């Protein structure tokens, strides 16, 4: 049974003025209290409607969960990868609020032709270690770039945690630089495995399910909060703010441009 969502975008003052037309005199605090009693609370939209039913979706999730558990129990690396939204470098507006003595003055238009560059944040999240390794690219989001990011962080950081690993599991969604169908992606993963001399098992989440990729809710959500309301004048500030991201559970970030 479909339930219609009741809503209003009127302010408390507008509601009060409309009630006056019907000879009802009431204060704004009382209107606010009555709205809450009736279940009207300010809410954001909830992105929970699945756009497409994917065949054997649940079986795929169960298989990925089984793979993750097997690798973690054998103390083998489980790496969740993805690329965040590209960011323009320059004097541009960005969502979010910060404490400041006055509002920062930025360009009144966000034309990318006026940007000093573009930042492509690619993350490699180590599920067992609760650490995100971020590469801030300065060009394009390609399969080669994604594999170079894994290569760099494996050789400079991740491998120290798994000195005897002969195999790794990579979790990713099904589009972009790690597309599940594109032969270029598979070719780059093959070349990466040869460079690292390690067997790579790649598990793609079903279509329309990328938000369940661990890096999305266990890494990028916290990094995005750290970036809110900050003007990206250069690449260094993106790197520095990302590395300042921590949580009570011990989450940390290592970044590289």
Q: What angle do CA 46, 50, 54 make, to 5 degrees?
A: 160
Question: Which CATH architecture describes the domain 57-94+112-256?
Answer: 2-Layer Sandwich (3.30)
Nearest to 177 by CA among 162, 163, 199, 192: 192
Q: What is the pLDDT of residues 24-63, one digit of tens each?
A: 999 999 999 999 999 999 888 887 777 667 778 889 999 9
Helices (H), the chain: 12-21, 28-37, 57-73, 143-156, 183-196, 214-215, 221-227, 235-243
Mean pLDDT of 137-159: 96
Q: What is the pLDDT of residue 2?
A: 59
User: Count of CB atoms within 10 A of residue 124's CB?
Assistant: 27
- Predicted TM-score (pTM) of the model is 0.83
Q: How far is the C-alpha of 191 from the C-alpha of 189, rounded, in Å?
A: 5
Q: Domain ranges in the chain? A: 1-45, 57-94+112-256
Q: How far is the C-alpha of 97 from the C-alpha of 138, rounded, in Å?
A: 26
Q: What is the pLDDT of residues 234-246, one digit of tens each?
A: 999 999 999 999 9
Q: How far is the C-alpha of 24 from the C-alpha of 18, rounded, in Å?
A: 9
Confidence of residue 1 (pLDDT cuts 50, 70, 90): low
Confidence of residue 92 (pLDDT cuts 50, 70, 90): very high
């Amino acid at each position: 049974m479909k339930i219609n969502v009741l809503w209003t975008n009127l302010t408390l003052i507008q509601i009060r003025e409309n009630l006056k037309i019907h000879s009802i005199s009431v204060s704004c605090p009382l209107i606010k209290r009555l709205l809450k009693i009736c279940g009207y609370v300010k809410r954001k939209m909830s992105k929970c409607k699945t756009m497409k039913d994917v065949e054997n979706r649940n079986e795929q999730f169960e298989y990925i969960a089984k793979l993750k558990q097997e690798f973690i129990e054998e103390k083998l690396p489980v790496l969740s990868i993805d690329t965040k939204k590209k960011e323009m470098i320059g004097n541009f507006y960005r969502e979010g609020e910060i404490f400041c003595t006055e509002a920062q003055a930025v360009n009144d238009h966000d034309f990318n032709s006026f940007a000093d560059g573009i930042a492509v944040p690619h993350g490699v999240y180590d599920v067992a270690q609760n650490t995100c390794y971020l590469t801030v690219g300065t060009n394009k989001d390609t399969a080669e770039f994604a594999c170079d990011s894994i290569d760099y962080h494996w050789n400079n950081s991740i491998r120290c945690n798994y000195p005897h690993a002969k195999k790794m599991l990579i979790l990713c969604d099904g589009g972009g630089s790690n597309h599940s169908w594109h032969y270029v992606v598979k070719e780059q993963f093959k070349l990466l495995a040869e460079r690292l001399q390690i067997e790579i098992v790649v598990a793609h989440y079903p279509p329309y399910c990328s938000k369940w990729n661990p890096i999305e809710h266990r890494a990028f959500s916290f990094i995005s909060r750290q970036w809110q309301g900050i003007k990206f004048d250069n690449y260094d500030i993106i790197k520095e703010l990302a590395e300042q991201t921590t949580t009570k559970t011990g989450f940390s970030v290592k970044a590289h441009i």
